[in-house]
């Protein structure tokens, strides 16, 4: 008697893909949570993440057309795997759980491809391991005799309860966590679930601002009340005759160099007796050097630093300022210099001007001209663009030509050569580094800063050769950190600890230099330990340039005329993070469970309750900044 297989598809086959993809995706979520949070509460992870898998995979399993069913299973798998991959990479460099706001900027990745690729740990590819098993799955499928293209529904007629259960789990989590303010994005994602966190972040992103702007006068007073509640250091409202150094650089050319990924610990640092920044060390001797100065950038990083410099507004919390505010008629330093003193204004960035929508931001900031890769060309490329040597060699002749008009120049120059991953060619005469740090990213980073320093020396010499130096003011500052603890290997941490002679902390990471040099005025030099941030550069330059800022809404302080300061960060640290004269503070869920670090010693403090008022003030100040910029008219 001949035995034949039934042509009827087995009911087991209709349910099997559901179990396969459910287990695989759940394993990926648990693995991603381990990579992000270092430890995993398995039951918590299952509860928080399984609802979406049951809803989507269970819903697909109900479909009867087998080709469509398998296609959707695979598409969902690819999308979720890629999402988790991106979240892990982003967090390990930025310390922030990426949201749709940042993911919407993936078109920017191509310009920094080498930097991104260097952040990928091979362990992350485990998230795609199941795709290697796909051929085995296909072979397994062929064990079953092929049936019709339309397969029966899953074995149980009650299977529709599976996606319903997923929906109930999701709804429960949403209700539980909606409106639950958790400052630290990692803590929020861990407690709410990765997908729930993303959905709630999207919902919060559409919320209306909590502060309304009635009129400019009320806003000026509100900002001053928040910054200076006791009326002790109203620096920006002091009359000119009571300000130190008011107009000390009036009428001079103002050159502002934004140093890529330049951290303050490199200033004065020697490795094996060799100075990393000999040029800046000498420049500081005849400059004002602000040693307690910090980055405040958001998602836009370098472009956000440009925004902070020229507006004294905080960048938005989860979006690049250049993307979000470029449609606004922005009050700015370039506009004020041109209106009050007839300055020519220009900016130089040896990259594609469309990167981070600078082609929209520069006109919004009021620059007369911008110079990008079309001007600089493709010679002597280091990393993502032409070298700092090319930047300065081509910019200074432009300054000399512009100066012939007799009108003063305000120019921003954005360096690139010290961009991550910090690979300076051997042809640039790098320093010989000690064996203890050779082969680490710390060595590469210090080499890139050394090259950047050398090129600053060349820029100064070029200005002197053109006869521009003596009638100029030079401002240099770092745009953001270079070394991030989460993004480097243990041996790199050991290397930077070795270089510093102590543990490397977040205080070190966010501390960047600010140097202001005015020949004939700052001779002899002065180190200023007043806490400041990038939001304070505009008010400080305005004071030195002799600008009237009484009717300007400035969220920063003139650092030469204040005895206290409060500045905030809300991207690389949670919303509500701040620095004052004493501490750097970061909340976790809120203030009470936060962490405070001494700016003097960089050590963590056990007691910080006396600073709660500063926490509430910085939240209010950032709300005011957001509301004010949002209220500005759109440019025509």
Spell out a b/e string for 206-215, using b for 16 or more CB atoms within 10 Å of the CB, else e.
eeeeebebee
Does the annotation place 480 within a ligand binding site? yes
Cβ–Cβ < 8 Å for 506, 287: no
Whether residue 312 contacts residue 348, with contact meaning beta carbons closer than 8 Å, is answered with no
Question: Is 302 assigned a ligand-binding role in the annotation?
Answer: yes
Was 419 annotated as part of a binding site?
yes
Helix (H) or strand (E) holding 424: none
Q: Is 302 a catalytic residue?
A: yes
From 185, 302, 415, 549, the catalytic residue: 302
Alpha helices in 38-142 (DSSP H): 42-61, 66-94, 100-103, 113-117, 134-141
* Alpha carbon distance, N-terminus to C-terminus of the chain: 87
Q: How far apart are CA 275 and CA 450, in angstroms?
A: 8
CB 634 within 8 A of CB 328: yes
- Does 260 belong to an annotated binding site? yes
Q: How many residues does the chain have?
A: 636
Q: ∠578-584-587 over CA atoms, to 5°?
A: 60
Between the CA of residue 416 and those of 258, 382, 403, 478, 633, what are the distances in Å? 9, 8, 26, 12, 33
Non-local CB neighbours of 395 within 8 Å, separated by 6+ positions: 348, 371, 411, 413
C-beta of residue 412 within 8 angstroms of C-beta of residue 305: no
Q: Give start and end residues of each alpha helix (H) in 95-158.
A: 100-103, 113-117, 134-141
Over its C-alpha atoms, the chain yields an Rg (Å, rounded) of 28
Is 349 annotated for ligand binding?
A: no
- Known binding-site residue numbers for substrate: 419
Q: Which positions are annotated as active-site residues?
A: 302
Return binding residues.
Answer: 260, 302, 419, 479-480
């Amino acid at each position: 008697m001949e035995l034949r297989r039934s042509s009827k598809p087995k009911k087991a086959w209709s349910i099997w893909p559901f179990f396969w993809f459910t287990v695989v995706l759940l394993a990926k979520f648990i693995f991603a949570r381990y990579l992000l949070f270092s430890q995993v509460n398995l039951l918590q992870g299952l509860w928080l993440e399984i609802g979406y898998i049951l809803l989507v995979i269970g819903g697909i399993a109900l479909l009867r057309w087998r080709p469509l069913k398998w296609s959707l299973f695979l598409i969902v798998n690819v999308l979720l795997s890629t999402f988790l991959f991106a979240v892990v990479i982003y967090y390990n460099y930025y310390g922030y759980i990426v949201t749709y706001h940042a993911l919407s900027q993936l078109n920017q990745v191509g310009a920094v491809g080498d930097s991104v690729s260097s952040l990928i740990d091979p362990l992350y590819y485990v998230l795609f391991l199941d795709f290697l098993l796909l051929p085995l799955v296909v072979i397994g499928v062929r064990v079953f005799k092929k049936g019709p293209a339309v397969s029966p529904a899953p074995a149980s007629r009650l299977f529709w309860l599976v996606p319903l259960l997923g929906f109930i789990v999701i709804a429960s989590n949403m209700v539980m966590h909606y409106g639950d303010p958790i400052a630290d994005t990692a803590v929020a994602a861990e407690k709410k679930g990765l997908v729930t966190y993303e959905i709630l972040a999207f919902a919060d992103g559409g919320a209306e601002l909590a502060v309304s702007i009635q009129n400019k006068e009320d806003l000026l007073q509100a900002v001053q009340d928040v910054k200076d509640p006791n009326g002790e250091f109203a620096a920006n409202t002091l009359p000119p005759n009571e300000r130190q150094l008011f107009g000390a650089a009036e009428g001079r050319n103002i050159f502002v160099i934004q140093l890529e990924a330049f951290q303050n610990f490199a200033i004065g640092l020697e490795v094996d007796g060799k100075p990393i920044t000999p040029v800046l060390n000498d420049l500081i001797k005849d400059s004002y050097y602000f040693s307690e100065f910090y980055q405040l950038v958001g998602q836009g990083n370098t472009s956000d630093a440009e925004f902070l410099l020229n507006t004294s507004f905080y960048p938005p919390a989860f979006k690049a300022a250049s993307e979000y505010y470029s449609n606004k008629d922005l009050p700015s330093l370039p506009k004020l210099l041109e209106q009050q003193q007839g300055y020519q204004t220009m900016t130089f960035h040896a990259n594609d001007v469309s990167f981070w929508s600078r082609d929209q931001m520069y006109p919004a900031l009021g620059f007369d001209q911008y110079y990008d890769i079309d001007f600089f060309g493709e010679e002597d490329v280091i990393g993502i663009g032409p070298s700092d040597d090319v930047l300065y060699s081509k910019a200074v002749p432009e300054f000399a030509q512009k100066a012939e008009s007799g009108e003063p120049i305000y120019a921003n120059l954005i360096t690139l050569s010290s961009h991550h991953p910090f690979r300076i060619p051997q042809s640039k005469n790098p320093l010989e580094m000690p064996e203890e740090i050779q082969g680490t990213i710390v060595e590469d980073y210090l080499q890139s800063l050394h090259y950047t320093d050398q090129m600053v020396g060349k820029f100064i010499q070029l200005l002197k050769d053109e006869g521009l130096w003596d009638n100029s003011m030079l401002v240099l500052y770092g745009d953001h950190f270079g070394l991030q603890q989460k993004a480097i290997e243990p041996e790199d941490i050991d290397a930077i600890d070795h270089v510093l002679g102590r543990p490397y902390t977040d205080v070190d990471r966010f501390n960047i230099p600010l140097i202001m040099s005015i020949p004939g005025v700052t001779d002899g030099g002065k180190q200023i330990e007043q806490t400041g941030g990038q939001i304070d550069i505009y008010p400080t330059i305005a004071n030195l340039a002799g600008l009237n800022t009484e009717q300007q809404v400035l969220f920063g302080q003139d650092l030469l005329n204040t005895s206290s300061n409060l500045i905030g960060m809300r991207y690389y640290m949670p919303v509500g993070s701040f620095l004052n004269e004493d501490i750097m503070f970061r909340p976790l869920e809120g203030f009470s469970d936060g962490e405070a670090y001494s700016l003097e010693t960089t050590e963590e403090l056990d007691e910080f309750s006396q600073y709660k008022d500063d926490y509430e003030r910085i939240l209010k100040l950032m709300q005011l900044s957001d509301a004010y910029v949002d209220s500005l008219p759109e440019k025509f």
